[in-house]
Amino acid sequence: MRIRPVGAHALLINCDDADQVEGWRATLWQRRERGELSAVEIVPAATTVLLDGVPDPAVTAARIAAWTPRPPAPAGTAAAETVEVPVTYDGEDLPVVAGHWGVDAPAVVERLTRTAFRVAFCGFAPGFAYLTGLPAALAVPRLPTPRPRVPAGAVALAGPYAGIYPTASPGGWLLVGRTGTALFDVHADPPARLTPGTEVRLVAT
């Protein structure tokens, strides 16, 4: 773990992997709730955690360096909120994913429905959550040319991640299914239904 300043009131924690990111995210959120950390935002990403709105970055960095992040709870435990998302697995790229995995389409669906996913971070579009939980060996490539429009609710895979498009947008992920669950509402609090640390089950319908 490495900490460096970003601008006048932010710190960036560089991590080795997604598990370390989740460990620091959970630790920092907990410390902030207990009043041990002052930061307006704590934003995890693939290999970093950004703390923004830090009154004294130098003092905060020294304090964080003395902390030990708690290891992330195993997926499927009761340590985090679990959101079940009903999915119709009829995506046009389902046979492509099956080919990459060396199985048939029903086996892809079975794997996805029994995987305990966790939101690692959000990005790309408001409410778009990057879901971890699949083994690294099952990572799949993006499309060579993105589609100009992917419908809202599309469930897709790319690299080691699964994701659900909260709104219609261009996209290059492999489409495996669809859901009618609303994942982003600007009037809700929080607007995003899936936030970092949340566990997700992609339940077949």
CA–CA gap between residue 51 and residue 28 (Å, rounded): 9
Q: Which CATH superfamily is 82-204 part of?
A: Cyclophilin-like (2.40.100.10)
pTM for the whole structure: 0.90
Please say whether the beta carbons of 140 and 100 come within 8 A: yes
Indicate if 82-204 has the same CATH topology as 2-65: no
CB atoms within 10 A of CB 114: 11
Would you kindly state where each structural domain of the chain is located, as residue ranges? 2-65, 82-204
Q: Kindly report the CA angle at 19 between 135 and 55, in degrees rounded to 5?
A: 150
Tell me, which fold does domain 2-65 have in CATH?
Answer: Gyrase A; domain 2 (3.30.1360)
pLDDT in tens, the chain (205 residues): 899 999 999 999 999 998 999 999 999 999 999 999 999 999 999 999 999 999 999 999 999 999 999 777 666 555 568 999 999 999 999 999 999 999 999 999 999 999 999 999 999 999 999 999 999 999 999 999 999 999 999 999 999 999 999 999 999 999 999 999 999 999 998 899 999 999 999 999 9
